[in-house]
Amino acid sequence: MSIVVQKFGGTSVGNADKIRNVAQAAIKEHRAGNQVVVVVSAMGHTTDYLVELASDISKNPSSREMDMLLSTGEQVSISLLAMAIQEAGYDAISLIASQIGIITENVHSKARILDIKTDRLTKHLNEGKIVVAAGFQGVTMTGEITTLGRGGSDTSAVALAAALNAERCDIYTDVDGVYTTDPRIVPKATKLNEISYMEMLELASLGANVLHPRAVETAKQFNVPLRVRSSFKHDDLGTLIIGVDLMEIYKPVSGVAADLTQVRIAILKVPDAPGNAAKIFGSLAEQNVSVDMIIQSYETPDKTNDIAFTVAQSDFNKAITILEEVKSQINASKIIVDKEIAKVSIVGAGMIDRPGIASDMFQAISDAGINIKMISTSEIKISCVVEKERAHDAIKALHTKFNLDQTDVIATVAE
Ligand code: ADP
Ligand code: ASP
Ligand code: MG
């Protein structure tokens, strides 16, 4: 018997009717002769609500207590879904991460999964039960509750699929697949029938929140066949995410993404001496702050450099506290901050060895009258930081420039 892992996001379990709809999708897979594990997120905007509630109590809540709080959202939805499946006449059991044994590293708010125990899952599946597992959460070796980062239920689902050697992992959501860009921003976005792990990983990391980046990374690592499909049209096959070797690449650019959740920080007049960059970025890394784009200016006659980089908004307060300390240690002059930025990116395995893609990108952004503040490139992506207010205009311009607009069908997006 094959194992299938299904994952349903917050909007897909937003109310009782939607939970019943999810129950039917799980039952359909079970009736097709598969053993089914369903991973669900918290209902609707529960997690946002809990974050807000915490901020009313504390401006700087401890990350341990945040994880205790946020993990409760998923416990509500798994129990309700198990009840809905039972109500429809099928056997189901809900389990939180500590009951399953989803073991993570000892880091709060963005823990990585280290191991998943499969004994209890296998036992219940062999009893003929549909297992409903809480997404987003884990437990450390010492029994502390952790969470995997916002959007992390996708990663829970793929990791469970890998641990169980599942036949496939289906991510059901409120759009009917992966599009060339967010169809809520560009209604002319085109649905992709398939996309490579590599491109999807870039798009997800660059702001296409349709999949959690670590879910794609895990699927790639363990070769889990991954599909993004609609919660509301169960027969639509959505988008398959597969190895690049299986694809024929026609277009240089497969997708466009925007990330509006970054902040730009610059440290001015850093003395041009060995070890200062290591000190800045080492101190941030020690406290688990990830740094994204980095630019160092050409050294000035007074033998200093300006170093600018971006961090996630959620790490901003922590980053500034660390940097104030480092600034005085290394004798830099000043820290400046720009919160009104967005990173827009183009991604495509087909851009390798095709010159001119970067200049086309800069031209399209400039034709839209938008200024570029930072640039970074890798083999299959180019990113530019622009003014946040103009991010959507930049996305639209790039989508058109790289011939991704579709002319006939408008994207299917559930409200
Ligand atoms: P869920 O609650 O199911 O996890 P998310 O809100 O996390 O759903 O992800 C789905 C959303 O991702 C869509 O509603 C869409 O607006 C957004 N999105 C961003 N980029 C893309 C893209 N390239 N293709 C499809 N959806 C995208
Ligand atoms: N409920 C969590 C969040 O809102 C996890 C998820 O939805 O994947 O981020
Ligand atoms: Mg999501």
Distance between CA 387 and CA 340 in Å, rounded?
Answer: 6
CATH number at residue 167: 3.40.1160.10
Give residue 179 CA to ligand 1 midpoint distance, Å: 9
Give domain status of residue 154, yes or no: yes
Q: Which of 174, 209, 237 is the last residue of a domain?
A: 174
Number of domains composing the chain: 2
Give domain status of residue 159, yes or no: yes
Give domain status of residue 351, yes or no: yes
Give domain status of residue 30, yes or no: yes
Q: Does one domain contain both 45 and 145?
A: yes
Q: Which two tokens stand for residue 134?
A: 């809480």
Q: Does one domain contain both 160 and 268?
A: no
H-assigned helices in 32-142? 46-57, 63-70, 72-87, 97-100, 119-126
Give domain status of residue 183, yes or no: no
Q: Model-level pTM? A: 0.90
Q: Does one domain contain both 250 and 122?
A: no
Question: Is 151 close to ligand 2, i.e. is its CB under 6 Å away?
Answer: yes
Query: Probe ligand 1: pick from 210, 239, 344, 398, max atoms within 8 Å of CB?
Result: 210
Give residue 241 CA to ligand 1 midpoint distance, Å: 15
Distance between CA 156 and CA 158 in Å, rounded?
Answer: 6
Q: Does one domain contain both 391 and 268?
A: yes
Q: Does one domain contain both 264 and 168?
A: no
Q: Does one domain contain both 163 and 252?
A: no
CATH number at residue 292: 3.30.2130.10
Give domain status of residue 314, yes or no: yes
pLDDT at 412: 57
Q: Which of 151, 174, 197 is the last residue of a domain?
A: 174
Farthest-apart Cα atoms in the chain, separation: 77
From residue 300, alpha-carbon distances to 76, 271, 278 in Å are 58, 10, 20
Give domain status of residue 179, yes or no: no
Q: Does one domain contain both 138 and 278?
A: no
Q: Does one domain contain both 169 and 297?
A: no
Give residue 151 CA to ligand 2 midpoint distance, Å: 4
Q: Does one domain contain both 11 and 159?
A: yes
Domain residues for the domain of 264 are 245-415
Low-confidence ranges of the chain (pLDDT < 70): 244-250, 407-415
Q: Does one domain contain both 287 and 142?
A: no
Question: Is 172 close to ligand 1, i.e. is its CB under 6 Å away?
Answer: no
pLDDT at 351: 87
Give domain status of residue 223, yes or no: no
Q: Which of 158, 174, 190 is the last residue of a domain?
A: 174
Burial class of residue 408 in the structure, from the number of CB atoms within 10 Å of its CB (0-12 exposed, 13-18 middle, 19+ buried): exposed
Question: Is 152 close to ligand 2, i.e. is its CB under 6 Å away?
Answer: yes
